[in-house]
């Protein structure tokens, strides 16, 4: 599949628009700007069709996002898969090894297994989403509302509390204080990160120090002793809640690492193709479909040695 520069730029723009509209925080002005972009050039419309094709196949595009003009597309499954992405070459290796449930996760108050996402309604009216392979303990008492994030990633929408108890997320690296907000916290072995969707939070590292305020549309990486700079969030933050990974010119190795969070076993790729840039919307409830899309659209070879061992390489050149 050979695309012009204008087509590549249009698909990257479409991915950004799709992420913004999927976030649930798009304003009327942003929707109007998207519509103006969509009708400004036929290439934009074609790019939007490519971006939404797989999502529409998976019935995951909200009605308010998909334009009426894009309904009723009749494509073969292979055409849909081939149209979802764009690439540019480079190099590196990405893979994620086997994961299994730990005792810590098994006995948590709230938990998900690999590939599972669940929503819980808390007693105070707050909403808790757990992403894949995540575990949380709940500690509510007369003075606090505390969630202990043992592993994985959560999305919180806090509710007002009549007793005005603070709402905190505890990780091994520090605490996040909600300021009437909607936000995501993800914990890793070496660090944690927070991304704010609405309002603000304050982050305090485990080794004390001044609290760092993070506003809507911003994110922060931190560990026990230090933090990075507050940065602007990727527009695709939280897309997993809607069942998608949204990539905007993302290295293939990073995309595969993200997909591997939603399946058990090993998913790896050759270093020669790992830095290919990919834009698209990929379903996380059917990672095999996402891999087939990559295989078809990028002329790659996905070798399935078993259900738990998958290797991605460049397709052999026919002579």
> Which pTM was predicted?
0.71
Whether 259 and 308 map to the same domain: the answer is yes
Better pLDDT: 49 or 172: 172
Query: Domain check: are 214 and 253 in the same one?
Result: no
Is the same domain home to 125 and 225? yes
In a domain, 228, yes or no: yes
Token pair in block for residue 48: 């939007």
pLDDT the model gives residue 10: 80
pLDDT of residue 263: 94
Confidence of residue 59 (pLDDT cuts 50, 70, 90): very low
CATH number of the domain residue 159 falls in: 2.60.120.1440
Domain boundary pick from 193, 212, 232: 232
In a domain, 262, yes or no: yes
Q: Which of 190, 223, 200, 157 is nearest to 24 (CA)?
A: 157
Residue 313 has pLDDT above 70, yes or no: yes
Whether 237 is covered by a domain: the verdict is no
pLDDT-derived band of residue 104, with 50, 70 and 90 as boundaries? low
Q: Which of 191, 206, 232 finishes a domain?
A: 232
* Pair (295, 254) in one structural domain: yes
| Residue 103 domain-assigned (yes or no) | no
CA-based end-to-end distance of the chain: 18
pLDDT mean across residues, the chain: 81
Residues 123 and 198 in one domain: yes
Does 182 lie in the same domain as 257?
no
* pLDDT for residue 180 is more than 70: yes
Does residue 113 lie in a domain region? no
More confident residue, 52 or 154: 154
Number of domains the chain is built from:
2
When mean pLDDT is compared over 108-112, 278-282, 304-308, the highest value belongs to: 108-112
Domain span including residue 13: 5-95+243-314
Q: What is each CA distance from 89 to 46, 257, 278, 314, in whole angstroms? A: 23, 18, 10, 11
- How buried is residue 301: exposed, middle or buried, by Cβ count under 10 Å (0-12/13-18/19+)? middle
Contact 178, 164 (CB under 8 A): no
How far is the C-alpha of 250 from the C-alpha of 258, rounded, in Å? 11
Please report which helix (H) or strand (E) contains residue 295, including its range: helix 287-297
Q: Please give the pLDDT value at position 170.
A: 97
For residues 169-179, give the mean pLDDT. Answer: 96
**Does residue 226 sit in the same domain as residue 248?**
no
Q: What is the pLDDT of residues 230-250, one digit of tens each?
A: 999 886 788 999 899 988 889
Q: Which two tokens stand for residue 244?
A: 């998608």
Residue 157: inside a domain? yes
């Amino acid at each position: 599949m050979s695309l012009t520069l204008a087509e590549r730029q249009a698909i990257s723009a479409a991915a950004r628009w799709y992420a913004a509209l999927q976030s649930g925080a798009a304003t009327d002005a942003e929707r109007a700007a998207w519509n103006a972009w969509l009708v400004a050039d036929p290439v934009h419309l074609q790019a939007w069709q490519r971006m939404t094709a797989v999502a529409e196949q998976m019935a995951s595009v909200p009605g308010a996002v998909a334009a009426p003009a894009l309904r009723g597309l009749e494509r073969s499954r292979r055409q849909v898969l081939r149209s979802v992405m764009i690439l540019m070459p480079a190099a590196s290796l990405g893979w994620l090894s086997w994961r299994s449930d730990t005792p810590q996760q098994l006995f948590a108050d709230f938990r998900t297994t690999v590939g599972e996402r669940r929503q819980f309604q808390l007693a105070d009216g707050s909403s808790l989403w757990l992403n894949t392979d995540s575990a949380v303990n709940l500690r509510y008492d007369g003075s606090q509302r505390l969630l202990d994030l043992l592993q994985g990633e959560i999305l919180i929408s806090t509710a007002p509390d009549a007793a005005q108890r603070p709402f905190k997320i505890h990780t091994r690296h520090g605490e996040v204080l909600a300021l009437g907000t909607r936000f995501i916290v993800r914990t890793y072995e070496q660090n944690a990160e927070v991304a704010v969707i609405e309002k603000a939070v304050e982050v305090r590292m485990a080794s004390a120090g001044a609290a760092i305020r993070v506003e809507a549309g911003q994110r922060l990486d931190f560990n026990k002793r230090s933090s990075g700079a507050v940065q602007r969030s990727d527009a695709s933050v939280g897309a997993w809640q809607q069942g998608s990974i949204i990539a905007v010119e993302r290295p293939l190795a990073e995309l595969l690492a993200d997909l591997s969070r939603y399946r058990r076993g090993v998913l790896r790729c050759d270093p020669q193709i790992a830095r290919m840039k990919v834009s698209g919307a990929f379903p996380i409830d059917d990672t095999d479909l996402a891999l087939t899309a990559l295989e078809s659209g990028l002329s790659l070879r996905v070798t399935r040695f078993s259900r738990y061992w998958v290797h991605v390489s460049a397709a052999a050149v026919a002579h």
